[in-house]
């Protein structure tokens, strides 16, 4: 069987060829394309974290501008940049991260009726829109970058007082002094210990 060593046993499953042998890890190759490993490679399972736009403004000419930026687990089409990686497995001392609502929509009676923008959060949102995506790095070293929970957008009350209207995870402290360090992201994929 092509791709299997002479001391391997091969198993044929319709559309899939699996090589099982004395190597550190087994592989399976699909006859329609693609391959999978059993996880014995040297990389930990990670989730990419991007610094990107979470909410947009569109003007009368259909020009799109970013209303506010924050950290997110996927690219957005206009201005996202890769910030780092978080692991999918919990390590001692790591902080859970959630993809959830950072800007809820409210009814005229003040109850939450939906979500206007999603972003990374240090806690699950209170409205049931959150999903656990990974865990922060446990060390502060040259191989990591900081991640802050802070204000993403301020608004002003009728009497001129500013308040934080939208908060979530950011790559830098917010300029209003309302940030706290949540943890770190790895700059690169993590190698297994």
- In this structure, is residue 192 part of a structural domain? no
- In this structure, is residue 19 part of a structural domain? yes
Band (36; pLDDT cuts 50, 70, 90):
very low
- In this structure, is residue 144 part of a structural domain? yes
Q: Are residues 19 and 79 in the same domain?
A: no
Band (13; pLDDT cuts 50, 70, 90):
very low
Say if residue 163's pLDDT is above 60: yes
Contacts of 71 (CB under 8 A, 6+ apart): 49, 50, 51, 52, 83, 119, 120, 147, 168, 169, 170, 171
Which is more confident, 12 or 105? 105
Tell me which residue range forms the domain holding 12.
1-41
Q: Are residues 53 and 141 in the same domain?
A: yes
Provide the pLDDT for residue 139: 81
Q: Are residues 29 and 104 in the same domain?
A: no
Q: Are residues 6 and 100 in the same domain?
A: no
Share of the chain above pLDDT 70, in %: 75
Question: What is the tally of structural domains in the chain?
Answer: 2
- In this structure, is residue 54 part of a structural domain? yes
Q: Are residues 29 and 85 in the same domain?
A: no
Q: Are residues 85 and 128 in the same domain?
A: yes
């Amino acid at each position: 069987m092509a791709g299997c060593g002479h001391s391997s046993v091969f198993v044929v499953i319709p559309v899939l060829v699996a090589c099982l042998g004395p190597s550190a890890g087994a592989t399976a190759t699909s006859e329609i394309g693609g391959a999978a490993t059993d996880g014995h490679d040297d990389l930990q399972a990670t989730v990419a974290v991007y610094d990107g736009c979470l909410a947009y403004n569109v003007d009368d000419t259909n020009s799109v501008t970013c209303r506010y930026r924050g950290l997110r687990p996927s690219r957005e089409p206009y201005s996202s940049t890769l910030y780092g990686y978080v692991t999918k497995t919990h390590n001692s001392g790591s902080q859970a991260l959630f993809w959830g609502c950072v800007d809820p929509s409210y009814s005229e009676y003040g109850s939450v009726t939906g979500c206007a923008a999603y972003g990374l959060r240090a806690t699950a949102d209170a409205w049931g829109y959150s999903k656990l995506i990974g865990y922060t790095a446990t060390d502060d070293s040259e191989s990591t970058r900081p991640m802050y929970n802070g204000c993403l957008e301020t608004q002003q009350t009728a009497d001129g007082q500013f308040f934080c209207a939208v908060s979530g995870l950011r790559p830098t402290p917010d300029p209003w002094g309302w940030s706290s360090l949540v943890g770190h992201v790895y700059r690169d994929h993590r190698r297994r210990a």
